[in-house]
Structure 1
Amino acid sequence: MSETTPSPQSPGPESTRTDPVLDAGTYTAIREPRGAGRLALDGAWHQISPKYVVSQTVQNAVFVAVVAIAAVVAWRVLDHWWPWIPGGIMILITVITQLVLPRQARALGYMLRADDLVFRKGILWQRMIAVPYGRMQLIDITHGPMDRAFGIAKLKMVTAAATTGVEIPGLGREASEALRDTLIEVAETRRTGL
C-alpha cells in the first residue's frame, strides 16, 4: 500500500503512530470514559474534523431562525401566543444539543484493527461497535450542501446485521475517500460466507 493510503493496524507498539491522511485536520485527543469500567483497546484512535461542529452549528442556527420566524408569523396571523410553546420547546432542545455538540464530537472516533473497524461515540450513553472487515457489504460516502461547503463527508458502512451499521460523520474528504478505498480493499480479501 502507498504511504497516503491507511491500512488496518495490528495491535502492538507501532499502532500508536498517526496516519497523515486520516489524522489531517482532526481533533488531537479522543475523549474517553474515565473509570475502571472502560474498555481499553490496542490501537490508534482516529477522530473527526472540528469542521463538523461548525457545520452542525450553522445548521442549528438556520433551524432556530426558521422556527423563530414561523412562531412569529403564526403569532401575528393567528393573534394567539400558543405558537411560542412548540417553537420555544424546539429552540430549547436545539440550543441544549448545540451546547453538548463540541464535547460529543471529541468523543467520536474509529480504530482500524487487524480484523475489524471499531467505532465509538457518546459521552453519557457510550456505544462501541466492531465491524468485521469481511462482513461489510456497502461503503457509502455522503455529503450534503453544508458538508460540501465545509469540506467534510459522512462515511457509512452497511453490514448484513442492521445493528452493526456504522456512520462516521465529519471526516475530511481525503480521509473519507482513503478510508473507503482501504475498507473496500481489505473487505475483498476477508470476505466470509453468510
Structure 2
Amino acid sequence: MTAEPFTPTDVTWTPVSRRLVGARLTVAACVLGPLFVGLVVVAALTAPGVWAAPAVVALVAAWLCWLVPRQVRAMAYAERADDLLVRRGIMFRRLVVVPYGRMQYVDVNAGPLARRFGIASVQLHTASPATTAEIDGLPPEEAARLRDRLASRGEARLAGL
C-alpha cells in the first residue's frame, strides 16, 4: 500500500460504464424539467422578480451536467486475490474493501431506466449491514460475470474457513 489510502498499488481499476452519466442526467431532467417549466409559467404570470427561481433551477441543472460525469469517472472496482475493492467520490472519497470470505450474497439489479440505458448494478451483502458495497453502471454481461465470479470466490473462501 502507498501513503495514499485511496490508490493502493498493484491494483488494476475497472471503470463503470459511461452510460451511467446518461441515466443519472435523465433522472435529474425528469425532476428539474417540470419544476423549471412550472416556475417559468409562474414567473411569466407574476412580477419580474420571480424569475430568480427558474434561474436557480437552471443553474442547478448546469451544475449537475458538470458534476455527474466527474462522479461517474471516479467510480471503479478492482478484483484482487482475496477481496474486492470499490471506490467512488471526488471530494468525499470512499474505498470499500470486501473480503470474498465475508460475502453472503450478491444481487444484480436493473430497473426500467437502467435497462433502457443498458446498465445494471451489482450489490454485495456481508454479515454486517454497514458493509454492503454497490457497483452501479455495469453492462449487464459484466454484471452477470461479476456476480458469478464473486459468488464462486465467496464460496471458495468460506469453505476454507
Task: Answer yes or no: same fold by TM over 0.5.
Answer: yes
Deviations 1:50-101 (A, max 9, x none): 1111222222222221212343566689x6876974x665554443233111
**What CA distance in whole angstroms lies between the structure 2 residues aligned with 1:128 and 1:170?**
17
Cα 1:142–1:94 change in 2 (3 A) is farther
1:65 to 25, 30, 33: 33
Asked whether the 8 Å contact 2:124–2:133 carries over to 1, the reply is: yes
Deviations 1:141-189 (A, max 9, x none): 1111111111101111111223321111110000000000111111111
Where in structure 2 are the equivalents of 1:1-194 lying within 5 Å?
37=4, 39-72=7-40, 85=53, 92-191=59-158
Query: What is the CA-CA distance between 1:41 and the residue it aligns to?
Result: 2.7
**What CA distance in whole angstroms lies between the structure 2 residues aligned with 1:88 and 1:130?**
42
Query: What is the CA-CA distance between 1:114 and the residue it aligns to?
Result: 0.9
Answer with 58-67 or 147-156: which moved more: 58-67
- Give TM-score scaled by structure 2 length: 0.81
What is the SS of the residue equivalent to 2:39? helix
**What CA distance in whole angstroms lies between the structure 1 residues aligned with 2:144 and 2:137?**
13
**What CA distance in whole angstroms lies between the structure 2 residues aligned with 1:154 and 1:41?**
26
Answer with 161-170 or 36-45: which moved more: 36-45
- Give TM-score scaled by structure 1 length: 0.69
Asked whether the 8 Å contact 2:25–2:64 carries over to 1, the reply is: no
Q: Which amino acid in 1 is paired with 2:129?
A: A
**What CA distance in whole angstroms lies between the structure 1 residues aligned with 2:144 and 2:104?**
17
**What CA distance in whole angstroms lies between the structure 1 residues aligned with 2:96 and 2:39?**
41
Asked whether the 8 Å contact 2:36–2:57 carries over to 1, the reply is: no
What is the SS of the residue equivalent to 2:107? strand
Asked whether the 8 Å contact 1:121–1:128 carries over to 2, the reply is: yes
Residue segments in structure 2 that go unaligned for 5+ positions in a row: none
Residue segments in structure 1 that go unaligned for 5+ positions in a row: 1-35
Q: Which amino acid in 2 is paired with 1:106?
A: R
Percentage of identical aligned residues: 34
Cα 1:159–1:54 change in 2 (3 A) is same
Answer with 59-68 or 144-153: which moved more: 59-68
**What CA distance in whole angstroms lies between the structure 1 residues aligned with 2:138 and 2:89?**
17
Asked whether the 8 Å contact 1:71–1:84 carries over to 2, the reply is: no
How many residues of Structure 1 are paired with residues of Structure 2 in the alignment? 157
What is the aligned-residue RMSD (CA, Å)?
2.7
**What CA distance in whole angstroms lies between the structure 2 residues aligned with 1:186 and 1:69?**
51
